[in-house]
Structure 1
Amino acid sequence: MRPTTAVLATALPALALAVLGSSHPAVLTPESALWWRDLHIIGLVLFPLLALGPWAVVRAAKPAGPVGWVLEGLAVVLGLVYAAFYGALDALAGVGGGHETMRVGPGPWVAALFEIADALGINGSYAYLAATVLAAVLALVAAPGAWRLLAGVGALFAVVGAWSFLTSHIYWPYGVATMVMLAIGHTAMAVAVTRRPAAPRHRAAPDAGDPASPVEAR
């Protein structure tokens, strides 16, 4: 993976969610319900893209051969689990909660809706944490020389951010800080692992009829 592609994949989704989260209402009320709903409609697109961060690091850092493909496949599966279950939280508590509050007003149904949304969303958050830990381990193994220090700093930011994501969502200020940490962490790891030296290319054996061939003329 090219360094520019890796940086875009790791930085942009998390930073976009940080910007979105800076205006997230602290509480769902009839007054905040419209933006609560619309904000989470935007989130339906942005939240799944957050899975690109761990995947980009794993793809750039994976070892060659079947083991590498298995590890990348694991990152993809974890990303899909995260996107599905966290998307359910976004749709139920975000879009559904905001829309129904606009239509029927607050009531006991809000707590019931948030209960099932949280129960589903936490599965996605744990899948994201697992993908981030996988990316961190591979980055620490794959980063060359002094770049391993950058990978270590990135791993710390990313894993702490993914742990915070279990409870912070994108609420200001902790959720916004969480998204910034994920952007910094995954981007640092992506930069570190894409600085690996390229594997040497194997040159074809010289042809016996080639004038430059070391084979002695008979």
Structure 2
Amino acid sequence: MRSLRTPRVMVLVTAPPLLLAAAGLVHPRHLTAATAGDWAGLHIALLPVFPLLVLGLLVPLWGRPRRGAEGALTVLAWAGCACFAAYYSGLDAVAGISAGTVVEHGFHGVAGRLFATGDALGRTGVYGLAVASLACCAVLWRRHGVRTLPGAVVLSAACWSFADSHIFWPRGVFTMLGFSVAFALLTAAAASGPAERVRVRAPQAPERLTNL
């Protein structure tokens, strides 16, 4: 896994959450007629960025064995990432682009329904990301042992916070920063090589005594 040591790979896994953190700094706190244009425009810009968050899980899994328990966990991680990419993009489109557009054109009463639908889509996406995170960490733990632990702990906290923080300042911004740190730690662990395993040698049978 020497390819995971390159700075370009670290940029690849940390750039999406860092971009989302930066977007959270300018994300309107509330959707109003005055902020509706910025609200919709920001979510249009972020539509291709949210799915890229899963790169932090997929990249450390490059080259993993695809058989047995590791194979099953890898497939589960891929499925969770696909769930997040699909359903969280739905949140972005419905509660972001659509809600911002209707409020900008004066249809305020529709926004509540759009937010309810978007929240349901977003929760499903975050649950998929949490499953993918657990599966990814399980694969890396089997391969790299305790070196996976720091990244797994930070990633678990970020997933828990993401469920209701989106990218809103302040907690959502720190959640995205948490993802960035977790992905960097997991990628570094995956680049460190397999964990050392202690081999226990079977006791040798005593030599047969002869010529007594």
Band the TM-score falls in, shorter-chain normalisation = 0.7 to 0.9
1:65 positional shift: 4.5
1:58 positional shift: 2.9
The correspondence for 1:157, drawn from 150, 154, 172, is 154
Q: Does 1:182 align with 2:164?
A: no
1:8 positional shift: 2.9
Q: Distance in 1 between matches of 2:183 and 2:106?
A: 42
2:35 is matched with 32
Q: Does 1:112 align with 2:109?
A: no
- 1:6–1:57 Cα contact (<8 Å) kept: no
Q: Does 1:18 align with 2:21?
A: yes
What RMSD over aligned residues (CA atoms) do the two structures have, in Å? 1.9
- 1:30–1:102 Cα contact (<8 Å) kept: yes
SS of 2:157 mapped into structure 1: helix
SS of 1:135 mapped into structure 2: helix
Q: Which runs of 5+ in 2 are unaligned?
A: 196-212
Structural mapping, 1:26-105, within 5 Å = 26-59=29-62, 62=64, 64-67=65-68, 68-105=70-107
- 1:34–1:102 Cα contact (<8 Å) kept: yes
Letter of the aligned partner of 2:82 in structure 1?
L
- 2:66–2:74 Cα contact (<8 Å) kept: no
SS of 2:49 mapped into structure 1: helix
1:137 positional shift: 2.2
TM-score (normalised: structure 1): 0.81
1:105 positional shift: 4.5
Q: Distance in 2 between matches of 1:183 and 1:190?
A: 11
Equivalences, count: 191
Q: Distance in 2 between matches of 1:190 and 1:143?
A: 11
> Compared with structure 1, are the counterparts of its residues 110 and 65 closer, same or farther at alpha carbon in structure 2 (3 Å cutoff)?
closer
TM-score (normalised: structure 2): 0.83
1:55 positional shift: 1.6
1:125 is matched with 126
1:59 positional shift: 3.0
SS of 1:51 mapped into structure 2: helix
Q: State the identity %.
A: 32
- 1:155–1:186 Cα contact (<8 Å) kept: no
Deviations 1:178-213 (A, max 9, x none): 000011012101101211059xxxxxxxxxxxxxxx
Letter of the aligned partner of 1:12 in structure 2?
A
1:74 positional shift: 2.1
> Compared with structure 1, are the counterparts of its residues 35 and 140 closer, same or farther at alpha carbon in structure 2 (3 Å cutoff)?
same
Q: Distance in 2 between matches of 1:130 and 1:10?
A: 18
- 1:158–1:186 Cα contact (<8 Å) kept: yes
- 2:87–2:122 Cα contact (<8 Å) kept: yes
